[in-house]
Amino acid sequence: MRISVVVVGAMVAGAVASIPSVARADNVTIAAGAEYTLTGDIVLSGSDSFTAGDPAGARCQIYGAGFSIHSADDTWSGNFSLQNCDVEGLGVAGGMAIQLSLAGALTISNTVFSTSSEIDLALRGDASVAFTNNVIAVDSVTAVVTTSLDQSQDAFHVKGGSTGTKVFQGNMVRRERLHFELTGDWLIEGNILVGDRTGIFVDRCGPITIRGNYSHSNGLGWNQVKNISAFSTEGNTIVEHNVLVGLAWNTEVHGPGEIRYNLIVNPVERAWVQLWATSSTKVHHNLLIQSSDNQFKEINGGFVVFGDDPPITPTPPPSSEIYNNTFDAGGTCNPGLAGAVTLGDQLLSLRSNAFVNIRLPGWTGITLVGQQDKMLLDPLPSLLGYADYNLFHNPDGSVKANYGVGVAGKTLRADAGFGYNDIPVGGAANAQVDPGFAGPIPHKLAFDEQSVLDGTTTVCHILAFYRRAYAPDATKNSPLIDSGDPADGAGNDIGAIGAGADNSLDQFGKLCDPNDVGPIAPSQDVFACATVGLEGGGGGGSSPIPPGGHGFVCVCQAGAGAPATAPFVAVLAVAGLVFARRRRR
């Protein structure tokens, strides 16, 4: 076996990797089961190919010794294959492990990257990428800066368009985020992202599908920590069938697409879902929950709808919709949040949602859907294009009204299109009705994250379990059953999960077999929590973000009493309540 490499100089720890304009490696082949230690950078040029390992053979071992593998320039036309290998020490902190300008085919599969740095791809022509079933280990040396997202590296960064097939599938990433920039036609599926600054950033891209992933970005305080942040105008972003466990900003999408069939859990400080009024985003059939594992007090609401900043002239019409979601804020198990939906611009449609167990602390307003006002305005600001077929069950005394905003030309609960068909149909303005979930409702996370990392609990299992718990129960005469907006099809229920007549959009928990919850069998203490006091705050209603600390106060107690039912960077203006443009440090 012959391997020819060119030494272009070992990098000092902390140095930024650069691509030499000359030097080449010729074809590189590392056989299955072989061990190889780099003595310099491997630099690919012309039509050089790189082939390491074999999916059917013994695992190869590659020791990077701080060196990297990269293309000489953007004329490289070869292919790259790295399969069934263990890679250690490739690249240095602040540098690159693999950096390629790619026009051919890249396959990286069943490979473990430990003590290695960023993987960076620039795509062109008909480049294809299959990055599948790999591990980016927790000991990755990509730079993580606790107080600055901008100064932190990506685990995997790809930029540029190509006509080839592109998949990022079945991987485990334990440190840093995935960054897709000015690219498109990617399938991001079945990955487990758990660790410091893990998550997915879709940056001005074409069509991308994000499906069946488990994401829990954790640690590092709270600066710009997000599971999914998608800002695209060129094509639809589809975010579906994921389990997204929060630390800070959970999920945000600014651009056309759909957020659907996801379990979105435990955000901190911002919201479960942030979207923009004119971005044509549809948010539907998601289950949003707050568990007593998270006692953070400063949360802006289930959904926050922003206006464009700076404003666009002429002003686009409202185009985003929120429908058929179930939002459970945890009731007395949690200290409160800013409401169900916070509006900074007009929302085209709010329909067929179940908003339950919400408490409103003193620093926010008094309504579930509105601008966080301290009183009901007369007339109500016309920030809803349509609002109907919703259910509210929020018996906490802090809730004074369901709606603090209105629909132009319509009277609340008297006119179809503004609450007439809310449950009960034609009832009182602020009626509260028990949704009749099948239950039992877990007040703590019903699954063990370690079992997700071990591969015994899957996203399918988790979604199926929560479908079972939050399904409308006919034996309880659930008012959700077949009571949703008929515009979304016959048999449409209110909320994320259906019962009764079939509806084609009822897909939450059906990524796999909806009856298979795998090993999830929570103990009884998961269904109980300690009652906590309503957060008094001190923000005085002047800002959706109250002053105060940003830590956790854990008050959950196993076996304690519980209520019958329980969980790009700029911050924008919300209905005159100014989110200052700033980065949290």
Helix, strand or coil, per DSSP, at residue 571: coil
Q: What is the pLDDT of residues 350-364, one digit of tens each?
A: 999 999 999 999 889
Q: Note the pLDDT of residue 148.
A: 60
Give the CA angle between residues 451, 455, 459 to the nearest 5°. Answer: 85
pLDDT beyond 80 at 581: no
Cα 419 from Cα 406, distance rounded (Å): 10
* Chain centre distance of CA 393: 26
Angle CA 546–548–554, to nearest 5:
110
Distance CA 356, CA 333 (A): 13
3-class secondary structure, 558: coil
Compute CA distances 216 → 19, 108, 263, 446, 555, whole Å: 33, 24, 12, 15, 22
Round to whole Å and give the CA distance between 450 and 441. Answer: 22
Are the C-beta atoms of 553 and 559 separated by less than 8 Å?
no
Tokens of 11: 């990098």
- DSSP SS3 for 466: helix
Percentage of residues in the chain with pLDDT exceeding 70? 84
The confidence band for 296, taking pLDDT boundaries of 50, 70 and 90, is confident
φ, ψ of residue 200 to 5 degrees: the values are -130, 125
- Give every CB contact of residue 9 below 8 A, 6+ residues apart in sequence: 40, 41
| pLDDT given for residue 566 in this prediction | 30
Q: Calculate the dihedral angle through the C-alpha atoms of 115, 121, 127, 132, rounding to the nearest 10 degrees.
A: 30
Q: Which residues pair with 180 in a beta bridge?
A: 158, 202
Q: E strand or H helix at 449, and its extent? A: helix 449-454
Report residue 585's pLDDT band, with 50, 70 and 90 as the boundaries: very low
Token digits of residue 184: 């498109």
Tokens of 529: 């929590």
Average pLDDT of 91-96? 93
Which residues are 440's β-sheet partners? Answer: none
Whether residue 267 has a cis bond before it, omega within 30° of 0: no
- The rounded distance, in Å, linking the Cα atoms of 383 and 345 is 6
How far is Cα 176 from Cα 144, in angstroms, rounded to an integer? 7
Tell me the C-alpha to C-alpha distance, in Å, between residue 110 and each of 133, 213, 291, 515: 5, 18, 35, 30
pLDDT score recorded for residue 537 = 46
- Count of other CB atoms within 10 angstroms of residue 524: 9
Coil vs helix vs strand at 307? coil
Mean pLDDT value across the chain:
86
pLDDT greater than 50 at residue 8: no
64-89 exposure pattern, b = at least 16 Cβ within 10 A, e = fewer: bebbbbbbbeeebbbbbbbbbbbbbb
Q: How confident is the model at residue 526 (pLDDT cuts 50, 70, 90)?
A: very high
What pLDDT shows up at residue 582? Answer: 28
Alpha-carbon Rg for the chain in angstroms: 25
Query: What number is the average pLDDT over the span 323-332?
Result: 97
Residues in the chain, overall count: 585
Give the per-residue pLDDT at 517: 98
With a cut of 90, say whether residue 217 has pLDDT above it: no
Q: Per-residue pLDDT averaged across 66-76, rounded?
A: 97
Alpha carbons 218 and 462: distance in angstroms, whole number: 19
Span of 15-24, 184-193, 274-283, 366-375 with lowest mean pLDDT: 15-24
pLDDT at 413 over 50: yes
Q: What is the pLDDT of residue 252?
A: 92
CB-based contacts of 224: which residues, under 8 Å, 6+ apart? Answer: 149, 248, 249, 569, 583, 584
Write the pLDDT tens digit of every residue in 101-143.
999 999 999 999 999 999 999 999 999 999 999 999 999 998 7
Q: Which two tokens stand for residue 481?
A: 């059953």
Name the amino acid, one letter, at 334. N
Residue 519 to residues 461, 464, 465, Cα–Cα distance (Å): 8, 12, 10
What backbone phi and psi angles, to 5 degrees, belong to 2? Answer: -115, 125
The predicted structure's pLDDT at residue 390: 98
Find the range with the poorest average confidence among 26-30, 191-195, 563-567: 563-567
Read off the pLDDT of each residue in 574-584 and give the average, rounded to a whole number: 30
544 to 221, 228, 359, 397: CA distances (angstroms): 20, 22, 15, 20
**DSSP labels, 223-292:** SS-EEEEEE-SSS-EEEES-EEE-SSEEEEEESSEEEES-EEE---SS-SEEEETTS-EEEES-EEE--T
Q: pLDDT band for position 294 (50/70/90)?
A: confident
Partner residues linked to 83 by β-bridges? 109
Q: 489-506 pLDDT, tens per residue?
A: 999 999 999 999 999 999
> Residue 74 pLDDT more than 60?
yes
What pLDDT does 465 receive?
98
46, pLDDT greater than 60:
yes
Q: Is the pLDDT of residue 12 over 50?
A: no
**235 has a pLDDT exceeding 70:** yes
Task: Report the run of H or E that residue 101 belongs to, with start and end.
Answer: strand 96-102
Burial class (CB in 10 A: 0-12, 13-18, 19+), 383: buried
**Cβ–Cβ under 8 Å, residues 132 and 167:** yes
